[in-house]
Amino acid sequence: MSMGTAKLKSSRASDEILTWIRSGRFTPGERLPSERAMAEELQINHLTVRRGLAALASRGVIEKRPNVGNFVSASAPTVEMALVLPRFVVKGGALHPVYGQLMAGIQSGIDQRTSSTTILSYRPGHLWEDVGELLVSRRIRGIILAPGSDVQIEHITPFQRAGIEIVLIKPSINLASLGLTTVILDMPGAWAQLMEGALSRGHRDIVVVQHGEYTLHDFDSQIIKSVLARYGIKNPAKVMLDIPSSSGQIDPSVMERVFAGKTLPTAVLVQDEYQASALFRMCYERNVRVPDDLSVGAVFDSTPHLHPVPLTAVDTTRIGREQGRLAVAILMKLLAAEKPIESEIRIRCEIQWRSSMGSLDSTSRAENEP
């Protein structure tokens, strides 16, 4: 064996052991397995492992204690990860509430003595330029990514070439062939619950508001149409109202159409708290009372304290934190070279029925209010 080959193998050994430490598999002060045990796991000679450990000891990553063993140094490098988000949800240093809950879940899922997470953002079409080079320079090997609709396979491959592990937290048809592990919220299921609940409360004149850039827009629309069909509503086009959007910029003024007809619909179902807030404002300007004149429901609501009437919606705080905990747990497994069992983890979203959603029967409406 040449000296160059031996050095290459020992470098591989030191890199693998360093990955174990950075992933949190072994924490500062913890004793490492024996050289022979590590050699067996890595399928290399135990002398090669010894050379790799010596290299790590020279860098201060581990401490060799004669007749005792090898221990992770108290000053060993922490696991560094990043939450990577579209720039429009990180404005002026303020994080969108949905991602604030996600970050809280990530932080609760790691040992902050040995791990750290930073937040990075990217402009549409500039994922690698805005984030990738910084990750490489800081030697961050794992990210939790919320891909915008602009992110394509060619934007991800530079990260893979750089050895950066990726967990997605938004579904992406564009990236499906890469087989990246995805932790997503069951938005179509939440839409189905919201539709079923409104229809079962007697509402038939319903308007459903979505914004067109949303990744699962078409799939959600099919779910909504199938629920309508079960209740005998044959013309879903009259029900659906799309809000134009681009790069995170949404113009809710199209919802003025809700009030343009001779009569109001009995219920309006929206996608998130932003649309709900705009709708509440329009109702106030027209002296339309919620839920007496118009019932309102949303899929997401990350700002429940801001609405004049408690909003029927998913408990975004709970599911956002759960998504963060699951995503970081999977990323830690990837960093430890463990392959996750599932490629997609879908979190169920339960609609919480609150007083913004009334019933056409006033008696049952009162029963549904908290």
Ordered structural domains, the chain, with CATH: 3-72 (1.10.10.10), 79-179+321-347 (3.40.50.2300), 187-314+351-368 (3.40.50.2300)
SS3 70: strand
Query: What token pair was written down for 300?
Result: 């997401």
Q: What is the mean pLDDT of residues 181-190?
A: 92
Q: Which residues pair with 142 in a beta bridge?
A: 81, 165
* pLDDT digit string, tens, across residues 264-300: 999 999 988 989 999 999 999 999 999 999 999 999 8
Question: What pLDDT, on a 0 to 100 scale, did the predictor assign at position 216?
Answer: 53
Confidence of residue 254 (pLDDT cuts 50, 70, 90): confident
How far is residue 246 from each of residues 131, 148, 156, 278, measured CA to CA in Å?
A: 21, 11, 22, 18
Please, which residues have CB within 8 angstroms of residue 140's CB and are 6 or more apart in sequence? Answer: 80, 81, 82, 118, 134, 164
SS3 114: coil
Decide which of 81 and 14 is more confident: 81
* Most confidently modeled range among 73-87, 176-190, 333-347, 354-368: 176-190
* pLDDT digit string, tens, across residues 90-128: 876 667 888 889 999 999 998 766 677 889 999 999 999
Confidence of residue 230 (pLDDT cuts 50, 70, 90): confident
**% residues pLDDT > 70 (the chain):** 86
What 45-54 contacts at long range (C-beta under 8 Å, 24+ apart), as own/partner pairs, is 45/9, 48/6, 48/9, 48/10, 48/13, 49/13, 49/17, 51/6, 51/10, 51/13, 52/10, 52/11, 52/12, 52/13, 52/14, 52/15, 52/16, 52/17, 53/13, 53/14, 53/17
Question: What pLDDT, on a 0 to 100 scale, did the predictor assign at position 93?
Answer: 61
Q: Is the pTM of this model over 0.85?
A: no
Distance from CA of residue 322 to its chain's centroid?
10
- Check whether 245 has a pLDDT greater than 70: no
Question: What pLDDT, on a 0 to 100 scale, did the predictor assign at position 246?
Answer: 61
Q: What is the mean pLDDT of the chain?
A: 85
Q: What is the mean pLDDT of residues 22-29?
A: 77
Determine how many CB atoms are found less than 10 A away from the CB of residue 177.
8
Q: Which residue has the tokens 């949190």?
A: 24
List the alpha helices (DSSP H) in 109-230: 127, 133-138, 153-161, 187-200, 217-230
Measuring CA to CA, which residue among 355, 352, 356, 364 is closest to residue 190? 352
| Dihedral Cα 366, 299, 327, 172, nearest 10 deg | 160
Asked if 204 contacts 215 with a C-beta cutoff of 8 angstroms, the reply is no
Decide which of 10 and 353 is more confident: 353
SS3 348: coil
